[in-house]
Amino acid sequence: MKDLQSSKKGPETKQVLILGGGFAGLNAALELGGVQGVEVTLVDRHNYHLFQPLLYQVAMAGLSPADIAMPIRSRLSRYQNTSVLLGEAQKIDLAGQKVKFDFGELSYDYLVLACGANHSYFGHNEWEQYAPGLKTISQATEIRKRVLSAFESAERISDSDEQKKYMTFVIVGGGPTGVELAGAIGEMSRFTLSRDFRHINPSQTRVILVEAGPRILPMFSEQQSDRAARDLENLGVQIWTSSVVTNINEEGVELGEERINAATVLWAAGVEASELGKSGGMPVDNRGRVIVEPDLSLEGYPNVFVAGDQASFTHQTGEPLPGTAPVALQQGKYIGKTIRQELKGKPRSNYCFHDKGQMATIGRSRAIVEIGRFKIAGFIAWVVWLVVHIFYLTGFKNRMLVVMQWAWSYLSFRRGARLIVDRDWNPDSMSVTKPEAEEPEIPVSTEH
């Protein structure tokens, strides 16, 4: 792999190594695409860029995975100075300016860390098998499988207590992801599935949203938070605030002395940054995020940048910026522009996040939007949410697919991706008596 780099690198060429193809990494690569004197190598564990804000739609059978993802190679293919590699970083050598991967070792002149974050179970990682989080397509399809399978199980059993257990869904965490999941399950059970079953009534589904704090969506104003709570309750969602989860197992959730019997538990309560920063000896905060300088660089290493969910940037507000797509997108662009300007001999400027507002959806025709002091809710807010998300989707094809899919779902109350797919494939499990449905796959670039 060193030979691959050296064959491209001239005496004045700078090697930029980007870890992660999310919003931060991809936008940094786009800013450096086609720039003379720069060779960019982007490495990711997956060959596709994922539009995470709509991942819950895949989990709730509203969209297929290919609707919100596209191959990284096809996005960067027009830039001759950019290479894309499939792999996973294992160790960073800051002093030697090298990164060890599962396929070999790469050197760099500039390093951009944008490896994102994983779910945090606050020291109880054993809960993950009972309560999956929502960060990847694999997790989204697993959640979809569990949710749809719960209704199928309830349909074929006669014991009323068991039916109630299968028709009870608990979502832990009252942030945007938790609210969106709760609203989608409430809406799907009352409208989409209500006419599909004969032995159960899906509209009697119990959806419980558990939040440890005093209210859901604490990052929004209290007025908007209350509006979201009312909209959820109109969909049949029960909201339990000031409720701390003490245990999760195959029977359900424990909240101190109280137990909720539920076959399906979903986790949306906390995140922690990739361990790559901490294992590389970098200073991190209590969530594993790398503490960065005002220009997003690492203290003592001005050629190492950290962005997105992996960075702890406190220089603007005194608190770390939220782990949202707009933050990652802006930071990626800033890093790319900073490297580009520095190669021209221009001094660096400090990073500044431009807050364009925040939004969350609560099912069909319901959302809240907050832009500074400007606040809207209801159908108009939902239209704004829809337009913004479609605008930021990568690739025209993806936008058209999402528009058509949403239009169908909106007009018919149907969901077109209600497939239960078993990801644990092995030859011995194949049988003509147990046919397996095919799932639309992520498009794979032939350039790989």
- Give catalytic residues, as residue numbers: 180
Other Cβ atoms within 10 Å of 128 Cβ, number: 15
| Contact in structure between 171 and 132 (CB atoms under 8 Å) | no
- Distance set, CA 130 to CA 118, 121, 251, 266, 418 (Å): 16, 12, 9, 8, 21
CA nearest neighbour of 320 among 348, 349, 296: 296
- Distance set, CA 144 to CA 56, 155, 299, 424 (Å): 9, 17, 43, 15
User: Measured over all CA atoms, what is the biggest interatomic distance in the chain, rounded to whole angstroms?
Assistant: 75
Residue 309, phi then psi, degrees to nearest 5: -65, -15
Single-letter amino acid, residue 228: A
Q: Which two tokens stand for residue 18?
A: 């980007």
Buried b (16+ CB within 10 A) or exposed e, 77-96: eebebbbbbbbebeebebee
Q: Please, what is the Cα angle at 25 between 311 and 339, to 5 degrees?
A: 85
Single-letter amino acid, residue 260: I
Distance CA 294, CA 314 (A): 8
Single-letter amino acid, residue 97: Q
CA nearest neighbour of 359 among 333, 380, 344, 341: 380
Residue 151, phi then psi, degrees to nearest 5: -65, -40
Q: How many helices (H) and strands (E) does the chain have?
A: 12, 25
